[in-house]
Structure 1
Amino acid sequence: MLFAENTVDLEGPPSDFYYINEYKPAPGISLVNEATFGCSCTDCFFEKCCPAEAGVLLAYNKNQQIKIPPGTPIYECNSRCQCGPDCPNRIVQKGTQYSLCIFRTSNGCGWGVKTLVKIKRMSFVMEYVGKVITSEEAERRGQLYDNKGITYLFDLDHESDEFTVDAARYGNVSHFVNHSCDPNLQVFNVFIDNLDTRLPRIALFSTRTINAGEELILIIK
């Protein structure tokens, strides 16, 4: 559940922002959200599952915390897998499990995001979604954003630099997350139904325990 709070001024959330829950491709960009194969495991925690097929380790421990180092891709079970919804390798696809609040910051940083509940360390918090554009278009938009002192661009550079996510007008709660050199969120590339390595999903995980009322911060890109 998402809340909004402003005890600082009379400014409301941006009126030209459109809330979406998954990538919105720009014209000419195709997102194939259907896997071509899946596992037949009865217990994905112990069997050779989707991560092993991709040549990586299962990303999660039994407490649903991430156990792989940053830079390692996550391969979750997909719609063709025979395991059920309680599979331990289905975390990001279930969406945010924490109550978050958009709030007006008192330090001049505009809007931010805080958690209303305690978040365990190394836990999935939210996805970064927006409009998928080409890197060439991102260069053009980046100059405009720099002039305004804002940035909503996130390069999808797992194996190439063809595409970028722009969350300026289309996005989810991650649009409001502020950036700092002292973050409590870290980024992982995730593949579920779309296995195109040029188009990973971007998942944000906690780097430490985050207490209720604490602002969520992403590293400066």
Structure 2
Amino acid sequence: MAENLKDCSVPWKMSWDELEALCRRERLYCKQLGVNRTNSNEYDVEFLCDYKKTKEEELYLVKWRGFPECDNTWEPKRNLKCPKLMKQFHRDLEQELRRHKRRCIPKKLDKEVASYLVQKAKLRQSLQRWEAHLNQTRNHPGRIFVLNEVDFEGPPKNFTYINNYKVGQGIVLDEMAVGCECKNCLEEPVNGCCPGASLHRMAYNDRGQVRIRAGQPIYECNSQCSCSLECPNRVVQKGIQFDLCIFKTENGRGWGVRTLQHIKKNTFIMEYVGER
């Protein structure tokens, strides 16, 4: 009977918070949930839910990491050691107040405003988990960031991040049969190096920028070549070198990608390896 269950799976209908609370309660450690031997008994602020101000002090409603929302508590500002979360909370609060054309922070927040802050915090957590997953999956130096400042939509559904080509059924990608014998492919190309074998010129300059006209083929060195992986004629195969951001567009076109760095003209950014 057991062997018949080998490939079976059962859906786990628990939220991320419930799983984390269960781990802490049962003293189980989970890297993905951030629960380890060191912090399993600590009370960490997960996010801030609400705000109010009395004559004596400022108070924040705290969602504690690993505990359900029914255990949220009001805490004075002096007890909280989470400057980044507090700064993000007030940034979100000011943005929402501006949307309602209000300038000053009230002594007590409306339920609508408080609800917005909670949804914003939960969305940020969801996107941060997806961002961490993408960066664990990547095989290139460039990092990936995720941002949604438009609505409350979380990570795109039915989307799988891949690093390599996924060919169709019946297609086999063969290794290159021949390679160059250059010691310096850019300065002393033997017989024109790999591009020369196909009667084309070298596609890149010494900074890795494309110097041929759009539409012309690019022939890079390969695994059969005598040159090293640092060869200037190996650009695309080195993968993404820049930090990129997946962001939700404001014009209703879904998710887009933009750079977080200045990139010089004709510099390789990334290749399309999607699946249709």
TM-score category by the smaller chain?
A: 0.5 to 0.7
Report deviation, 1:52: 0.3
Task: Report SS of the residue matched to 1:113.
Answer: strand
In the alignment, does 2:248 pair up with 1:104? yes
Q: 1: CA distance between counterparts of 2:274 and 2:207?
A: 29
Q: Which residue of 2 aligns with 1:43?
A: 184
Would you say 1:88 and 2:232 are equivalent positions?
A: yes
- 1:175-214 CA distances to partner (integer Å, 9 max, x unpaired)? xxxxxxxxxxxxxxxxxxxxxxxxxxxxxxxxxxxxxxxx
Alignment of 1:4-43 (within 5 A): 4-32=146-174, 34-43=175-184
State the distance in 2 between where 1:95 and 1:40 align: 24
**Is the partner of 2:242 in helix, strand or coil?**
coil
Distance 2:203 2:232 in 1: 10
Q: How does 1:112-191 map to 2 (within 5 A)?
A: 112-131=256-275, 166=276
2:170 maps to amino acid: G
SS of the equivalent of 1:125 reads coil
Hey, what's the Cα distance between the residues in 2 that align with 1:29 and 1:77?
Answer: 23
**5+ unaligned residues in a row in structure 1: which ranges?**
132-165, 167-221
Q: CA deviation at 1:71?
A: 1.0
Which runs of structure 1 show a deviation greater than 4 angstroms over 4 or more consecutive aligned residues? Answer: none
Q: Where does residue 212 of structure 2 map in the other structure?
A: 68
Distance in 2 separating the partners of 1:55 and 1:12: 49
Measured after TM superposition, the shift of residue 42 of structure 1 is 0.4
Which deviations, in whole Å up to 9, do the C-alpha atoms of 1:114-158 show, x marking residues without a partner? 111111100000000123xxxxxxxxxxxxxxxxxxxxxxxxxxx
CA RMSD across the alignment: 1.0
SS at match of 1:4: strand
Q: RCO greater where, 1 or 2, for CA within 8 Å and sep 6 or more?
A: 1
CA distance in 1, matches of 2:232, 2:246: 30
Q: Which has the larger radius of gyration?
A: 2
Residue aligned with 1:7, SS: coil
Greater fraction of residues in strand: 1
Name the CA distance, whole Å, in 2 between partners of 1:11 and 1:52.
50
Amino acid at match of 1:44: C
